[in-house]
């Protein structure tokens, strides 16, 4: 009986912790009780640029189109009005996945252009996909967060050769793996009040298995062409299983 009584209490504590972290990084969530303004209501806000960039991403980006199909196939269809919110954020954060509301926050004060929006939405949809398909303890097990951050850095195109050249990072052996590891650590530190050493240890513990988990792409989509091929293969795979 003690265990049964403790489970709801633990779940409530985890939800409260989720909301505290969300409010620290996304201050508009504090004022609105944990949920952003949503797509349609914020169309009439001062900054409509975020909305235009988002809509173009959802309609045209092959990474995002595959992830949206995969979410729907997994029983977690994404609703534009419900699951995306353009907000002002603290620091240099570009976006985040608020697990307490299953909502993707897009930091309109930090997202610079269409390419940046594409990467942020893809990155956060990987987190949403992981949240859909597995029981992720985002706030009680840093290794779970580390795994999803490794996957997001690996599959979002954030470590593409073009992006790394712009960062003046290139020419290193096993460079993609190094980039994924470094970006995952930075992402953890942006949303958790832990030391760099703890973040590094968590990433190193899960890196091999999570780096090799390439679902739903089935490969590392190094560029949009790879992403289009992955989307085509996913659609063909879906048709195959639906006909069995």
Enzyme catalytic residues = 124
174 Rama class: left (phi>0) / alpha (psi -120 to 50) / beta:
left
Rounded to an integer, what is the distance from CA 217 to the centroid of its chain?
15
* Nearest residue to 84 (alpha-carbon basis) of 76, 92, 95, 71: 95
Query: Count of CB atoms within 10 A of residue 23's CB?
Result: 19
Q: CA-to-CA distance for 187 and 112, rounded, in angstroms?
A: 18
Distances, alpha carbon 226 to alpha carbons 35, 232, 239, in Å = 35, 10, 20
Ramachandran angles phi, psi of 128, nearest 5°: -65, -40
How many CA atoms within 13 Å lie on the side-chain side of 45?
19
With tokens 């996909």, the residue in question is 129
DSSP string, 16-68: HHHHHHHHHH-THHHHTTS----HHHHTTSS--HHHHHHHHHHHH-HHHHHHH
Distances, alpha carbon 166 to alpha carbons 1, 55, 160, in Å = 57, 26, 10
């Amino acid at each position: 009986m003690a265990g049964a009584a403790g489970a709801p209490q633990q779940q409530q504590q985890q939800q409260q912790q989720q909301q505290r972290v969300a409010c620290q990084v996304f201050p508009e969530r504090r004022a609105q009780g944990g949920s952003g303004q949503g797509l349609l209501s914020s169309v009439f806000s001062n900054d409509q640029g975020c909305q235009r960039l988002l809509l173009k991403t959802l309609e045209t980006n092959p990474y995002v189109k595959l992830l949206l199909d995969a979410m729907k196939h997994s029983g977690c269809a994404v609703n534009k009005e419900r699951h995306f919110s353009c907000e002002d954020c603290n620091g240099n954060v570009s976006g985040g996945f608020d697990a307490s509301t299953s909502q993707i926050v897009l930091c309109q004060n930090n997202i610079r252009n269409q390419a940046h929006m594409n990467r942020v939405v893809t990155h956060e949809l990987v987190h949403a996909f992981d949240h859909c398909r597995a029981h992720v303890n985002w706030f009680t097990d840093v290794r779970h967060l580390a795994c999803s951050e490794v996957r997001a850095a690996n599959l979002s195109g954030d470590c593409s050769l073009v992006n790394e050249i712009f960062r003046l990072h290139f020419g290193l052996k096993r460079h993609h793996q190094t980039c994924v590891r470094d970006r995952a650590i930075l992402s953890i530190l942006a949303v958790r009040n832990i030391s760099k050493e703890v973040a590094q240890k968590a990433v190193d513990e899960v890196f091999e298995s999570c780096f090799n988990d390439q679902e739903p792409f089935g490969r590392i989509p190094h560029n949009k062409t790879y992403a289009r091929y992955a989307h085509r293969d996913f659609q063909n795979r879906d048709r195959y299983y639906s006909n069995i």
